[in-house]
Structure 1
Amino acid sequence: MRFYRDKVSFGRHQTFSVRYGWLSKGFQALKRNPSILKSEEAIAELGVGKNMVESISYWLRAFQLIEPNSSKPTELGNKIFSTNKGFDPYLEDEATIWLLHWLLVSNPEQATAWYWFFNRYHKPEFTGLELVTALNDFVTDQVKDVRRPAMSTLKSDATLIPRMYTQSKLHKHMPIEEALDSPLAQLRLITVMAGERGFQSKPAPRPGLPTGILGYAITEIFRDRETDVIPIEDLMYSRDVFPAPGAVFRMTEMDLITKLENLTEYLPGVYQINETAGMHQLFQMRKVEPMEYVESHYASFERGEVA
């Protein structure tokens, strides 16, 4: 979760954005055969080309579904995508996509450009060229010299970010693979501007973001910061080496505060909002595991309740 200038990665996706079915299919194939993604069998097993197999392997790590340096499933990967008792193995609940978004952009070591865009880049309207330039400036300023990638690699990442979060427009000569949207496009965190002059990524109310998923993100931040109080402003804007949910989910300040108020009631006795010296802060009254919020959400989802 924490950004380190010497622990970064760029351009490992083989230019392919993540697609529907890739995460669940890849994860479940690994559960059956832990070495599948390193074998020739993966092409037939997953029904994709060699470069796509490498891309799937990368995205499984970027979304924190398998361990960074192995093919071992993470606890959360098992909880979500296991076919036996997984909460949502086939991405039927939009909450899973919100959760995946958080897992990706709070993972600067594996998905540095995505962490940068949603936490450090706050321009509401931009062109593809502006995005490449801004990412290059960030890398020049913040990334250790020996870890800096080529400009072509940065351009590949900067091009892929809006492609993953916007809905495709079908063109006559477009290959079918390119017309398949990433599941993240559902969240509408990036949209194409009128006349296709560029892109927008503006703060807005996010009614589709479940309290349980926000609770998971907030609790991860408290855990990794090793604190029991965080100013709400720090949860809104990422100004240091940690991600901020307000920025990650492109929320307005009012929407964040409303959702934090809901969060204090979601699991009673965990969080409380107080004002100290004119500053609103979120206090953690008792420690919980982030997974408790995920489990609570999916329990209510199975009962047909709105969480």
Structure 2
Amino acid sequence: MDKLLHFDYLRLIINNLLNVKEFLRFSGHETFHCKEQWLTKGVQLFDNKEVDAFNDDIFSITELGVGKNMVKSIHHWLKAFGWINSDGAITLIARKIIENDIFLENESSIWLLQYHLCKDEYASIYKIIFLDYFADKVTQEFSEKSVINYINRRLLQNGTKSVSENTLSSDFNVFIKTYVAPVKNIKTVEDDFNAPLLQLNLISKTNRRNESGELVYKINLGEQSSISPYLFMYFICDSFENETVINLDSIRKILGSYLCLTLDSLENLISQICTLDNRFVYKDDAGIKQLQIKTNTPDFKQDLLSSIYEN
């Protein structure tokens, strides 16, 4: 038996014995990637009706001016970006962005979208590709089939029901449209070039194909100079909620992956926040690199969220 398959089989047995289940979602977008205006329109829809507007098909279709499938997609993206919580209510992060940047013109707002899309894990493929898939790889390149194969192994290891190839392929294509600008033509100019995360340039085509003839994409690690210290402080406190001592490796693995930061740029941001606010202290003792936070409470995190736009 192939070693990898043997390992997957053992993991499946162990997970079943321990009843370990991981819920992964690869649908709900109705094959539409998110458009810039959808998020604010979705919140406005909620505000125009006392009960959940998305449960009223006639009202939501009329108010949004789109078809039923697109209404479902807008609802999906509101959840995926963390603008609606599990109780169906508009979140503080959504209110804060709309209050300060309703047209998503501030790049900090776009970074908040990217962070919560990965961290909240409502749409599973985003955390999977940015973090999990590359956990044991040197290269930053990937293709559709390599990602789908990884997801199928993950489902097998978890002992959960398999997902159809068509569903996974559709989800991957929506993922790519979220980050990679299409070739300009009359059809795509209006529809595809207003996806909010395009401007971050986190993923690009390599203009190469692999041995299977598939397009190869790559993660664009970089300095990400548009991430302000206050924004990074918020990411730290939100990712490591209630923690006061955090290993650099944990920050690199999580935030470095979500934000596509090089190690040098990550350490530079840590240096900036420690210089700016003495509640953050970086320690490098005997090769053990840690970030200490003197205050890491929900109130402090909300203050940081306000500071992102005030500064």
TM-score (norm 2): 0.83
The residue identity in structure 2 corresponding to 1:118 is F
Q: Is structure 2 residue 24 aligned with structure 1 residue 24?
A: no
- The structural deviation recorded for 1:47 is 1.7
Which protein is bigger by CA-based radius of gyration? 2
- The structural deviation recorded for 1:192 is 1.5
Q: Is structure 2 residue 155 aligned with structure 1 residue 145?
A: no
User: In structure 2, how many angstroms separate the alpha carbons of the residues matched to 1:73 and 1:281?
Assistant: 35
Instruction: Give deviations 1:280-302, integer Å, cap 9, x for gaps.
Output: 111112224322222111012xx
Instruction: Give deviations 1:44-80, integer Å, cap 9, x for gaps.
Output: 211211101000001111111111242x111222222
Kept in 2: contact 1:127–1:198 (CA 8 A) = yes
The residue identity in structure 2 corresponding to 1:203 is L
User: In structure 2, how many angstroms separate the alpha carbons of the residues matched to 1:120 and 1:195?
Assistant: 23
Long gaps (5+) in structure 1: 238-243, 301-307
Counterparts in 2 of 1:163 and 1:151: CA distance versus 1, 3 Å: same
Q: Is structure 2 residue 129 aligned with structure 1 residue 117?
A: yes
Structure 1's consecutive aligned runs of 4 or more residues displaced over 6 angstroms after TM superposition are none
Kept in 1: contact 2:204–2:220 (CA 8 A) = no
Which deviates further from its counterpart, 252-261 or 206-215? 206-215
User: In structure 1, how many angstroms separate the alpha carbons of the residues matched to 2:123 and 2:228?
Assistant: 24
Q: Is structure 2 residue 311 aligned with structure 1 residue 297?
A: no
User: In structure 2, how many angstroms separate the alpha carbons of the residues matched to 1:188 and 1:175?
Assistant: 18
SS of equivalent residue, structure 1 residue 167: coil
- The structural deviation recorded for 1:27 is 1.0
The residue identity in structure 1 corresponding to 2:32 is F
Instruction: Give deviations 1:28-50, integer Å, cap 9, x for gaps.
Output: 11112143222212122112111
User: In structure 1, how many angstroms separate the alpha carbons of the residues matched to 2:86 and 2:296?
Assistant: 26
Kept in 2: contact 1:169–1:179 (CA 8 A) = no
The residue identity in structure 1 corresponding to 2:94 is G
Match of 1:63 in 2: 81
The residue identity in structure 2 corresponding to 1:121 is Y
User: In structure 2, how many angstroms separate the alpha carbons of the residues matched to 1:53 and 1:19?
Assistant: 12
* Superposed counterparts of 1:257-268, under 5 Å: 257-266=267-276, 268=277
Kept in 1: contact 2:181–2:198 (CA 8 A) = yes
* Superposed counterparts of 1:1-307, under 5 Å: 5-33=21-49, 34-39=51-56, 40-70=58-88, 72-81=89-98, 86-108=99-121, 110-122=122-134, 123-141=139-157, 143-146=158-161, 148-171=162-185, 174=187, 178-194=191-207, 197-223=215-241, 226-237=242-253, 244-266=254-276, 268-288=277-297, 289-300=300-311
Kept in 2: contact 1:189–1:202 (CA 8 A) = yes
Instruction: Give deviations 1:213-240, integer Å, cap 9, x for gaps.
Output: 22111101221xx431111111112xxx
- The structural deviation recorded for 1:258 is 0.2
- The structural deviation recorded for 1:203 is 1.8
The residue identity in structure 2 corresponding to 1:139 is L
Structure with bigger helix share is 2
Counterparts in 2 of 1:227 and 1:97: CA distance versus 1, 3 Å: same
User: In structure 1, how many angstroms separate the alpha carbons of the residues matched to 2:275 and 2:140?
Assistant: 32
User: In structure 1, how many angstroms separate the alpha carbons of the residues matched to 2:118 and 2:243?
Assistant: 22
Kept in 2: contact 1:165–1:189 (CA 8 A) = yes
Long gaps (5+) in structure 2: 1-19, 210-214
Match of 1:240 in 2: none
Which deviates further from its counterpart, 187-196 or 254-263? 187-196
Which deviates further from its counterpart, 291-300 or 126-135? 126-135
Q: Could you tell me the percent identity over the aligned residues?
A: 25
SS of equivalent residue, structure 2 residue 251: helix
SS of equivalent residue, structure 2 residue 240: helix
TM-score (norm 1): 0.84
The residue identity in structure 2 corresponding to 1:116 is I
- The structural deviation recorded for 1:100 is 0.7
SS of equivalent residue, structure 2 residue 289: strand
